[in-house]
Structure 1
């Protein structure tokens, strides 16, 4: 009876009273994140009207910046006092923002209150008193750490001074350069400029030229400018190259005696036709009926590159090779990556190998990790290996076909376990000797690519398992893993809502394998349909990014509990770390420092991302250069991106992407609907959605900005 009374009394609680109760509750639990369910339970809000009133008050508290929604229906008190530290994000339109270190919504910083902070600087800000119905606003009171003080752009030189005109989206103002700081630069030169000061009252920062890259528009100049823009090196330090020149290429008898000898076993490499650095080779021999020995042989880079040597320090800093459209910026000096370590045919080479006893059905009966000496019998291009798979004829046909059979079995197993099958094509350019793009073609993953991929995956997984999988109660030794988390639940929900419009469904809850199998099912269902590209793009956006970490959580996309990178030490630093640790542990060494290796993992993940961005920028540049010959021509395409400033359109014929600016959609006032990936006309209700077929005319090709502008053709 008393309970009923309490419920009835509960209904009569006033909004102001409940607001006070909620405020006190958040202050009492100021360090905790509180879920809606928890709030209802703790405050005994059992009736529907009370719950609705509570949600209404929470939304008002959120708008008033008293609380932050850290995740869906999970809140925390915004107890950040009057000062905060965090990251300053500069925008050339003056809409700068500040991201607090402790999380929460961005805070607007007007240009006049920015203290000339640069993009991604660590700063301290002071809060302004919050105006009703306005976003939070603040002022930079101290720059704690500069993120970047060098910029790339084109010089404009007058009689007594010069300016660097930047294409940087984050810097609205050109950089003023005194004449004596020009380093011989002339108008039209691309240059790297360091900002030396930005006086309080001055509109422009002041800088000095660090390096002249060459004439704007020249191919090498532009490729170097892309690298410099991302803070990547475009020359190799001569001291490091000298150190590499002193490394002998000959293999000593003593070294050979320490290794398993695979020189007489059939061995070959399969690589792109323009490759020079052959990281990996495959060997195969029959042990008995239905049992084969397959060797995955990886260049033994760590034998030549000793930890903390000058070569190692440079490789660690770079962390990865960078593949631009027309050149490779190697992680290691050329003598090592293209000659000494490269597993070239008919040359004795040192390798670090994973050897499998494996059946035709892909069942691994035994495996071991050993240092070896090998001699490759043949260097195949992917196209040559593909021809053998298709025609059943050619050099080493029996061996290639057996490896293809085993690889297909391994692949089948992986997908049965819930690996996700994103088969993307790559856009490639045919380029003349001056770097001018002549044509565009698409590189698709065929059986020969998949053959190599499956054995590399198997080797990587095996090394991770051998070190990471330990008996219960024992602690695994430190290793850099390649990890990939489950898709973000909110993005997965958005994906489910989005594909429902096309009549598709996916699971958004259940086991890892349930979710991945339903994503695979979706990818199968859309094959060949007009929405295929679009749904695949949105699905990829729902995925997390793979990264390196010593804290293993498995690799969701591959459906592996243990995975690392072991197979490309010529071009990736994490693989070199794994080689060194595997050697150390096989010899009974103690576990390495987790802190040291976690920092190296973070650095490698960041550099991988930066390299990918630079690679994309070089593709973008070549696309714009290629399309500059086609201004005024009409193409069919598909809407590949929707933003508040316009529509991105990918052309069907050559996959070049450009933009229809929203200002050119003159027939209506358009609003951006982020959730449904579309622009909607306010009066006529015309909708432009992601994935819509569309016809455009090439309006402008701006090489400086790496930007194609398209105009709609109705």
Structure 2
């Protein structure tokens, strides 16, 4: 028997994300628990909204679990926008926030030229235990070009993305040499004499992938997927690496990019610009005319891009069968079409969501909205990037250390949640579409059949959108369960290290595997969670930025009648996406009360009138009037324009009311 030490066993700490409501009460949202942990303001222990924290449970009294925050593991936000109040010997900073945040103390040596009542960005320096106020420093005095510019900056800051790189990071980037090191060159395969080109959007500035192609046999080609070798310049533990990990991703707003790494790296050293020698990390495939990968090689290379294409140029070559490198592009496209067909045959789901792009004038104001199309030129690049990603993941998965898999940032996508799937299947059945739910493969096959059958029909939009919502979210994790949506057993992100930190991690681990000097990272899962969280924050930023530009675009259309499609339904109203502008706004249930008393039917994704039976169902086309466009709230408000039959409903109701009086 072991001796009793007399020490009380400590309660385990639970890790989660702190969500502070506008009223000031906090809830720690944790995985694996049915309920959140309530935390009162006095128990925040210097934690702020969105932070990843460790919480200790209080003794339960049978009601909701309560806890005390013991540790802040990771700050969601370290920079804040607000106004500064400058005194004689110190200053206070009041952050803009809909949730409670204490004022910051600012020393006069950390004002960076800010004056009383200036609008500023402040970085959190420290928050000592026992101190009521955090200490900060002014990073930027905001002198925004206009309201829109300020709004984009606020979106980034509120989602935890700094507007500028610290000086120490920029200094480190500027010290990096662009010249080619002959010693380094000797360690790499030289592909400078092999035909190589990039294919990117017309407005792209960073080119992180290139394709090379050369014939190596009667029926075989060597095709290289070459990726910018960011890990050559960004070393573990460096200031660049710390900053890249902290941001974890670039953020793409309608009028700007907030990059993960300084432009010296993203737009110069690592951008695979034409007619320049560049360091790359490559997957080299030997592929026959039937698309079978006969062999592959992974390793560091050296390339010289011969040409920079944009997607429209390549699409024209594909369609007209004329142009620069037409034979090579047509061959690559034939392989891509083969791989795409095979993916769907093997269980990948053919979802396609509508993406819009804003046409902006020289001041950044939206003057038009266009729908992005996924054409063969886009799919050509997509299929070869997918092939490279899955090849790298499968290669690393085979390697074991002490009979254990290497900690590695897999990109996984779980199977659909049955509870989310059931109402969708029932809804699809109302349109005549059947689902086989016997197993995961049959569900995927049913999805693909539905997407094929629904194409071009009135219900296409609603079923596609609802189908996407039943899907789990793809995340990074060291526990490989495969990627359900793509139909891959092994998958990772290898192809965009300029804009995604997980790709940098993949490059480093892969190089260690190649050199046979793997040192397992016991913090891999923590890093994966961080990158997944930052990816969600980037998506939130991008949605908010798009919404702002939508409202800005629609402001001069207030009072106009429009056609729209109901894109979502809730008890308080329904959302409508306009057909021409692809902009979404709300029709409030309060504004429908003149016509009927509407109730939410969640099984039918509809609002239903109790007396008339009138339905507003997701996917229905209706006429609406734009009545308000609020930039600060990023909100559009619509009113429903009833048809003749609905006017009759209104008249009957008013007549009844008159009799009642």
Q: Which TM-score band applies after superposition, normalised by the shorter structure?
A: 0.7 to 0.9
Instruction: Decide whether the 8 Å contact of 1:359 with 1:406 is kept in 2.
Output: no
Equivalent in 222, 226, 249 of residue 178 of structure 2? 249
Contact between 2:222 and 2:286, CA under 8 Å: does it hold in 1?
yes
Q: Which runs of 5+ in 2 are unaligned?
A: 1-10, 128-132, 643-661
Deviation of 1:583 (Å): 1.0
CA RMSD of aligned residues (A): 3.7
Alpha-carbon distance change, 192 to 622 in structure 1, aligned in 2, over 3 angstroms: farther
Residue aligning to 1:587: 515
Does 2:111 align with 1:184?
no
Query: In the aligned structure 1, how far is the partner of 2:59 from the partner of 2:598?
Result: 34
Q: Answer yes or no: is the 8 Å Cα contact 2:26–2:39 preserved in 1.
A: yes
Residues 191 and 401 of structure 1: CA distance in aligned 2, closer, same or farther (over 3 Å)? same
Report how far residue 643 of structure 1 moved. 2.1
Q: 1:404 to 1:195 in 2, by over 3 A?
A: closer
Corresponding residue for residue 49 of structure 1? none
Is structure 2 residue 248 aligned with structure 1 residue 319? yes
Alignment-derived partner of residue 345 in structure 2: 416
Q: CA deviation at 1:515?
A: 1.7
Structure (1 or 2) with the larger CA radius of gyration = 1
Q: 1:128 to 1:680 in 2, by over 3 A?
A: farther
Q: Specify which of 284, 291, 294 is matched with residue 362 of structure 1.
A: 291
Post-superposition shift, 1:218?
Answer: 2.7
Return the offset for 1:518: 1.2
1:600 corresponds to: 527
Distance in 2, matches of 1:429 and 1:470, equals: 45
Aligned to 1:68: none
CA pair 625-666 structure 1, distance change in 2 beyond 3 A: same
Q: TM-score by structure 1 length? A: 0.78
The corresponding residue for 2:34 is 104
Residues 257-268 of structure 1 correspond to what in structure 2 (within 5 A)?
257-268=186-197
SS, match of residue 685 in structure 1: coil
Which residue matches 1:493?
A: 422
Which of 291, 295, 308 pairs up with 1:379? Answer: 308
Q: Show the 5 A alignment for 1:70-469.
A: 89-92=19-22, 103-105=33-35, 119=49, 142=68, 144=70, 166=96, 168=98, 171=99, 183-184=114-115, 186=117, 189=119, 212-214=141-143, 217-469=146-398
The answer to whether the 8 A contact 1:496-1:508 is kept is no
CA–CA separation in structure 1 for the residues paired with 2:254 and 2:323: 32
SS state at 1:628 partner? helix
* 1:629 Cα deviation from its structure 2 partner: 1.5
Q: Which has the higher contact order (CA 8 A, sep 6+)?
A: 2
CA contact (8 A) 1:494 1:675 kept: yes
Measured after TM superposition, the shift of residue 621 of structure 1 is: 0.8
Q: In the alignment, is the contact (CA less than 8 A) between 2:39 and 2:67 conserved in 1?
A: no
Counterpart selection for 2:577 from 646, 650, 654: 650
**Do the aligned partners of 1:192 and 1:228 also contact (CA within 8 Å) in 2?**
no
User: Are residues 228 and 605 of structure 1, via their aligned partners in 2, closer, same or farther at CA, if it must alter by over 3 Å?
Assistant: same
Task: Give the drift of 1:678.
Answer: 2.1
CA deviation vs aligned residue, 1:95-125 (integer Å, no higher than 9, x gap): 9767577622458899999999964576678
Q: In terms of mean alpha carbon deviation, does 629-638 or 118-127 score higher?
A: 118-127
The aligned counterpart of 1:674 is 602
Q: Report deviation, 1:91.
A: 3.7
* Aligned CA distance change for structure 1 residues 152 and 684 (closer, same or farther; 3 Å): farther
Query: Residue 622 in 1 paired to residue 622 in 2?
Result: no
2:635 equivalent to 1:707: yes
Residues 638 and 162 of structure 1, relative CA distance in 2, 3 Å threshold: farther
Give aligned pairs, total: 615
Change (3 A) 1:250 1:328: same
Quickly say closer, same or farther: Cα 1:469–1:495, change in 2 above 3 A.
Answer: farther
Q: Residues 689 and 413 from structure 1, CA distance in 2 versus in 1: closer, same or farther, beyond 3 angstroms?
A: same
C-alpha separation in 1, matches of 2:616 and 2:478: 44
SS of residue in 2 equivalent to 1:711: strand
> Per-residue displacement from partner, 1:212-270 (whole Å, max 9, x unpaired)?
43459533322111101111111112221111111111112222222212111111000
1:480 paired residue number = 409
Structure 1 residue 513: Cα displacement: 2.2
The equivalent of 2:559 in structure 1 is: 632
Q: CA deviation at 1:532?
A: 0.9
Q: Deviations over 1:447-502 (max 9, x none)?
A: 00000010011111111111213699954333221111111111121211121121
Is this contact kept in 2: 1:241–1:333, CA < 8 A?
yes
**C-alpha deviation, 1:673, in angstroms:** 3.0
Is this contact kept in 2: 1:361–1:410, CA < 8 A? no
Map of 1:31 onto structure 2: none
Distance in 2 separating the partners of 1:143 and 1:472: 37
Q: Which structure 1 residue ranges, 5 or more long, are not aligned?
A: 1-80, 131-135, 198-204
Residues of 1 paired with 2:617 and 2:25: CA distance? 27
CA separation in 2, counterparts of 1:583 and 1:396? Answer: 32
Q: SS where residue 216 of structure 2 aligns?
A: strand
In structure 2, relative to structure 1, the CA distance for the partners of 1:345 and 1:506 (3 Å cut) is same
Separation of aligned partners in 2, 1:236 and 1:382: 31
Cα displacement (A) at 1:361 = 2.2
Q: 1:154 to 1:712 in 2, by over 3 A?
A: farther
Aligned positions of 1:21-60 closer than 5 A? none
Query: Mean alpha-carbon deviation: is it higher for 207-216 or for 650-659?
Result: 207-216
CA contact (8 A) 1:321 1:329 kept: yes
1:561-597 residue CA offsets vs partner (Å, 9 max, x unmatched): 111111111111111111111111111113422x222
